[in-house]
């Protein structure tokens, strides 16, 4: 319960960010998620330097080599090779760049556009705001896969085209959350006080609202990131997103599906990687949310 | 309340107009000839083309074309499918119930599994049971649906051989199409093999339902748990405890009713994700629903089908959204004020 303190003690004198980090670091699952997240992030950036072989190089003397933990495997090929003799390990590393990295870019794009539209919607009043909301409600109702199908039908299949579809599908939730957060902030007394001091809309926005909502934005962004990874992988699997030779995890699963009896690694491994990537994002998101809640309670 | 309903109705009309404009414009945005995209005929002879152009008002302005399009939609003339040359509305009438059946079972499972688990997890938030439930929930929330489906097929269908991999019912059974819901149709049919057919259909339904139910169930668990924890902190719960009610009474009379209110709303918000997942599940299990049909349509460049699919699925999602929101307002007087 709230205790009255005249002088802030040591705990309360810390910056809000540091307090958030302390609460976050106290949760083991969140820290595990963060470690995995950083690992995937580094992989997405550095994978071309780390791959031992060219992920697209077809070696017809080494077709369908078993992973190195089995009797027939070679130690040079930790996860074996696929039916075209391409090194699975290099393809998995490369996949982090496509599935995880592109999901990250998609979310960043949706966040930026969402911020712009959300601020416009949140700061405007009356008919303009109401019309805006209704258009958003429409966009919110079209399932992301359907949106991707329509965009693929117009522009043709490909990773870049589905990127637009996923961005478009993520946008409404960003705008909604930003709009609601701004509406909540505008009701606060300190905003009124700042306005009485003669602050303009722009000053209220940049000095008060944005610093106060960015943490909530981060949580929304992590939720969107997990959706984006799952959507990119699903579209790759269905053959609408990344096309066959691309080492995208979903597309690799679709590729290896015919050989599931001979080489189950080709289906199991990319699926496990997608699962781990999404799990890490969700753990970080949940950890952040919990930490924010705990900080508020203290 | 009347004013609220009127406002919702106005919004609904507005959204439907916007949706139909989008669907209409797709006829031009899709590759190929607009006349072909609207009629669904691939090779049109010259004299028929002029006749159809006049009938579809493609020679006049966009607004006249749009009005003609709306008239066709309401009179049930949705054009033909490029692939099968059948009327689209007829095809959709057969396919849509299959998708609805699958989605309905998944939602039912998520209610009967997700909500109790969420309540159990909220009773002792730091207990071991609660931690296990939360861990399962976050794992289920993160698993890619197509991979999960493949794993289950590998285990139960190919490995153990317990359950069939594809379809709604064995090919030996012939069930007349009445409602489109397989289980209801079997019960309505008077065949002597009714019980066997029912068991067979249930075996076919089990795996897709589990796969599709995973995501909504975990959402329900997380949401019910969070909502219960929040309600449990409120002062009216403390008042009720102070009056001498025991835990079970407080849970049933005060906590549950308030905690489950936002859950109703959540169904509407998650429905669009559920439909996306249902489409992927249908592809993997060869379930003859509208999702698999739409994804086949993209491989076949079947543009009229995609246009019709957009219209049907979006209408479905909008209606469910609106319905859950109205229900939420009906049960929650506090929401009416806004």
Evaluate if residue A8 carries a pLDDT over 60. no
- Check if the beta carbon of residue A107 is closer than 8 Å to that of residue A224: yes
A234·B146 Cβ contact <8 A? yes
Q: What is the pTM of this model?
A: 0.87
Chain A residues in contact with B292 (beta carbon < 8 A): none
| Alpha-carbon gap, residue A164 to A161, rounded angstroms | 5
pLDDT at B36: 77
A292-296, B47-51, B124-128, B147-151: least confidently modelled range: B47-51
pLDDT band at B148 (very low <50, low <70, confident <90, very high): very high
User: B15–A138: do the CB atoms touch at under 8 Å?
Assistant: yes
Using an 8 Å Cβ cutoff, are B225 and B118 in contact?
yes
Q: How far is CA B220 from CA A2, B178, B206, in A?
A: 31, 33, 20
Is B26 in Cβ contact with A149 (below 8 Å)? no
**pLDDT at A13 (0 to 100):** 63
- List the single residue in A137, A153, A237 with the smallest CB-CB distance to B15: A137
- In chain A, whose CA is at the least distance from the CA of B143? A275
Torsion of CA B133, B138, B143, B145, to 10 degrees: 70
Question: In this predicted model, what pLDDT tens digit does every residue of B294-318 receive, in sequence order?
Answer: 888 888 888 888 888 888 998 888 8
* Cβ within 8 Å, pair B151-A230: no
pLDDT of residue B263: 82
- Nearest chain B residue (CA) to A257: B150
A58: three-class secondary structure by DSSP: coil
Over pLDDT 70: what percentage of chain B?
99
Taking one residue from A and the other from B, the number of pairs with CB-CB distance under 8 angstroms is 120
Sort out which chain B residues have CB atoms less than 8 A from A253's CB and list them: 146-147, 150
Q: Determine the distance in angstroms separating the CA of B328 from the nearest CA of chain A, rounded to an integer.
A: 17
Least confident among A171-180, A280-289, B161-170, B220-229: B161-170
B-chain residues near A286 (CB < 8 A): 138
Q: Which residues of A touch B151 (CB under 8 A)?
A: 271
Q: Which residue has the tokens 């997103």?
A: A241
Q: What is the chain B residue with the closest CA to A260?
A: B154
B233 vs A226, higher pLDDT: A226
Distance from the Cα of B265 to chain A's closest Cα (Å) equals 14
- Tell me if A233 sits within 8 A of A210, measured CB to CB: no
Q: Which residue of B has its CA nearest to A235?
A: B280
With CB atoms and an 8 Å threshold, state whether A257 touches B150: yes
**What ipTM does the predicted assembly reach?**
0.85
Chain B nearest CA to A136, separation (Å) = 10
**Which residues of chain B lie closer than 8 angstroms to A141, CB-CB?**
15, 272, 314, 317-318, 321
Dist. CA A268–CA A88, nearest whole Å: 12
Mutate to test the interface with B, among A143, A229, A268 (most CBs of B within 10 A): A143
Phi, psi of A70 (to 5 degrees): -95, 170
Q: What is the pLDDT of residues B59-88, one digit of tens each?
A: 777 888 888 888 888 888 787 787 788 888
- Nearest CA-CA partner of A278 in B73, B138, B187: B138
Q: Which region, left, alpha or beta, applies to residue B40 given φ > 0 means left and ψ of -120 to 50 means alpha?
A: left
Say yes or no for a CB contact (<8 Å) between A138 and B19.
Answer: yes
For chain B, the average pLDDT equals: 83
Tokens of A240: 């609408």
Q: Which of A143, A226, A274 sits opposite B275 (nearest CB)?
A: A143
Residue A18, SS3 per DSSP: helix
SS3 A81: strand
Closest-CA residue of B relative to A152 is B298
**B-chain residues near A226 (CB < 8 A):** 141-142
Extract long-range pairs of B248-253: CB within 8 Å, 24+ residues apart. B251/B119
DSSP bridge pairs for A81: A87
Whose CA is closest to B321, among B251, B268, B255? Answer: B268
pLDDT at A12: 59
**CB-CB contact of A162 with A241 (8 Å):** yes
């Amino acid at each position: 319960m709230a205790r009255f303190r005249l002088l802030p003690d040591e705990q309360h004198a810390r910056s809000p960010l540091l307090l958030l980090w302390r609460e976050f670091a106290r949760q083991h699952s969140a820290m595990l998620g963060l470690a995995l997240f950083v690992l995937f992030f580094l992989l997405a950036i550095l994978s071309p330097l780390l791959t031992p072989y060219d992920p697209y190089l077809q070696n017809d003397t080494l077709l369908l080599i078993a992973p190195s933990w089995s009797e027939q495997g070679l130690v040079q090929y930790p996860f074996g090779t696929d039916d075209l003799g391409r090194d699975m390990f290099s393809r998995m590393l490369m996949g982090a760049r496509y599935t995880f990295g592109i999901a990250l870019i998609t979310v960043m794009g949706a966040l930026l556009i969402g911020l712009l539209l959300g601020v416009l919607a949140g700061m405007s009043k009356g008919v303009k705001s109401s019309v805006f909301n209704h258009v958003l409600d429409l966009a919110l109702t079209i399932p992301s896969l359907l949106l991707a199908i329509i965009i693929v039908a117009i522009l043709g299949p490909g990773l870049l085209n589905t990127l637009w579809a996923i961005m478009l599908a993520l946008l409404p939730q960003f705008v909604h959350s930003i709009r609601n957060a701004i509406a909540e902030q505008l009701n606060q007394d300190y905003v009124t006080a700042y306005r009485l001091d003669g602050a303009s809309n722009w000053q209220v926005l940049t000095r008060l609202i944005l610093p106060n909502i960015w943490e909530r934005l981060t949580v929304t962004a992590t939720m969107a990131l997990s959706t984006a990874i799952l959507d990119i992988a699903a579209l790759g699997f269905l053959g609408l997103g990344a096309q066959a030779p691309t080492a995208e995890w979903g597309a690799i699963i679709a590729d290896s599906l015919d050989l599931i009896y001979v080489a189950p690694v080709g289906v199991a491994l990319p699926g496990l990687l997608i699962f781990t990537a999404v799990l890490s994002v969700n753990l970080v998101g949940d950890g952040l949310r919990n930490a924010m809640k705990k900080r508020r309670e203290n | 309340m009347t004013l609220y309903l009127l406002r919702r109705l106005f919004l609904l009309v507005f959204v439907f107009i916007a949706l139909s404009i989008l669907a209409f414009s797709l006829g031009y945005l899709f590759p190929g000839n607009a006349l072909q995209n609207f009629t669904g005929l691939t090779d049109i002879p010259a004299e028929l083309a002029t006749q159809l152009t006049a009938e579809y008002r493609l020679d006049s302005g966009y607004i006249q074309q749009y009005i003609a399009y709306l008239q066709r939609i309401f009179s049930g003339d949705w054009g033909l499918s490029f692939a099968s040359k059948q009327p689209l509305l007829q095809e959709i009438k057969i396919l849509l119930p299959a998708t609805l059946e699958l989605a309905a079972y998944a939602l039912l499972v998520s209610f009967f599994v997700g909500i109790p688990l969420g309540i159990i997890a909220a009773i002792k938030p730091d207990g071991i049971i609660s931690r296990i439930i939360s861990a399962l929930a976050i794992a289920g929330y993160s698993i890619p649906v197509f991979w999960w489906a493949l794993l289950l097929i590998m285990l139960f269908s190919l490995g153990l051989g317990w359950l069939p991999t594809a379809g709604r019912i064995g090919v030996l059974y012939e069930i007349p199409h009445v409602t489109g819901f397989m289980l209801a149709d079997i019960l309505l049919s008077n065949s002597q093999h009714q019980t066997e057919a029912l068991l067979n259909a249930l075996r076919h339904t089990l795996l897709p339902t589990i796969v599709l139910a995973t995501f909504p169930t975990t959402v329900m668990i997380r949401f019910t748990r969070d909502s219960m924890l929040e309600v449990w902190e409120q002062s009216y719960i403390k008042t009720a405890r102070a009056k001498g009610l025991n835990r079970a009474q407080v849970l049933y009379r005060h906590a549950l009713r308030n905690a489950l209110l936002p859950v109703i709303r959540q169904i509407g918000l998650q429905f669009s994700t559920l439909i996306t997942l249902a489409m992927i599940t249908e592809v993997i299990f060869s379930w003859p629903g509208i999702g698999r049909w739409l994804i086949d349509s993209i491989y076949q460049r079947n543009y009229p089908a995609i246009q019709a699919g957009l219209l049907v699925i979006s209408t479905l999602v909008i209606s469910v959204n609106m319905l859950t929101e109205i229900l939420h307002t009906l049960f929650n007087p506090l929401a009416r004020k806004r």
